[in-house]
């Protein structure tokens, strides 16, 4: 994978790309990938598959402690080196596909005061050879990525807040972080015990979990 770090794209900058079912590389990008799942990705996917978050996490994901942040990171488990949701006809969870699938071939870089994008080039991907031009803003709109960016920013505020404190989580904090941020259905069940507000709506419960974790770890 080659990331064009030289070129920082703002929302009105453009790139050429077109991806469609007839393209010879169709589905190639859904194989051999590392797909990090954010809290909002998990809520969308588990509802798309009509599963609880606990079942979804058990069946489709694995987690590790992020080298940079020291926090739990959830990734999709591949089956035969491919995303479990790829089919001959394309993505079986297309309406609820994760943020990184939506943004591809862009990667988003976001800091407190800055937001920009890089283009990713992979040898197998023929989408770059197509002549259709997009601004980054148009791509985000077309791919339904705006709400994902907003939700991910809320989560990343927590991650960066913990990171900037240089805090190392103990086992109890690690377990709480995992439940509060990724396992919305378990969080709802344990809300009284943890002291986190209970919400019926999954997205609201996820946001409560992130808020709870912020208070618990950063205490602001």
Distance between CA atoms of residues 79 and 173, nearest Å: 31
- C-beta closer to ligand SF4: residue 28 or 49: 28
- C-beta closer to ligand SF4: residue 101 or 210: 101
The CB-of-28 to ligand SF4 minimum distance in angstroms stands at 4
Residues that bind ligand SF4 (CB under 6 A): 19, 23, 25-30, 35, 83, 85-86, 91, 93, 97-98, 101, 104, 124-127
- C-beta closer to ligand SF4: residue 26 or 63: 26
The CB-of-54 to ligand SF4 minimum distance in angstroms stands at 20
Instruction: Assign 3-class secondary structure to the chain.
Output: CEECCCCCECCCCEEECCCCCCCCCCCHHHECCCCEECHHHHHHHHHHCCCCHHHHHHHHEEEEECCCCCCEEEEECCECCECCCEECCEECCHHHCCHHHHHCCEEEEECCCCEEEEEEECCCCCHHHCCCEEEHHHHHHHCCCHHHHHHHHHHHHHHHHHHHHCCCCCHHHHHHHHHHHHCHHHHHHCHHHHCCCCCCCHHHHHHHHHHHHHHHHCCC
* Contact by Cβ (8 Å): 207, 213: no
Q: Is 27 left (phi over 0), alpha (psi -120 to 50) or beta?
A: left
- C-beta closer to ligand SF4: residue 82 or 218: 82
The CB-of-37 to ligand SF4 minimum distance in angstroms stands at 10
- C-beta closer to ligand SF4: residue 18 or 116: 18
The CB-of-80 to ligand SF4 minimum distance in angstroms stands at 13
- C-beta closer to ligand SF4: residue 20 or 215: 20
The CB-of-170 to ligand SF4 minimum distance in angstroms stands at 33
The CB-of-45 to ligand SF4 minimum distance in angstroms stands at 8
């Amino acid at each position: 994978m080659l990331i064009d770090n030289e070129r920082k794209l703002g929302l009105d900058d453009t790139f050429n790309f077109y991806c469609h079912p007839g393209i010879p590389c169709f589905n190639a990008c859904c194989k051999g990938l590392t797909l990090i799942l954010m809290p909002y990705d998990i809520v969308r996917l588990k509802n798309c598959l009509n599963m609880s978050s606990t079942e979804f996490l058990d069946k489709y994901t694995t987690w590790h402690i992020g080298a940079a942040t020291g926090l739990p990171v959830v990734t999709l488990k591949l089956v035969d080196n491919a995303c479990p949701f790829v089919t001959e006809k394309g993505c079986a969870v297309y309406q609820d596909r994760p943020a990184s699938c939506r943004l591809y071939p862009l990667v988003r870089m976001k800091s407190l005061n800055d937001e920009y994008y890089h283009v990713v080039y992979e040898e197998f991907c023929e989408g770059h050879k197509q002549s259709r031009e997009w601004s980054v803003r148009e791509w985000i709109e077309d791919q339904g990525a705006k709400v994902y960016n907003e939700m991910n920013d809320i989560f990343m505020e927590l991650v960066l807040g913990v990171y900037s404190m240089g805090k190392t989580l103990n086992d109890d904090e690690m377990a709480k972080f995992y439940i509060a941020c990724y396992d919305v259905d378990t969080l709802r069940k344990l809300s009284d015990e943890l002291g986190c507000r209970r919400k019926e709506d999954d997205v609201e419960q996820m946001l409560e979990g992130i808020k709870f974790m912020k208070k618990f770890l950063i205490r602001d």
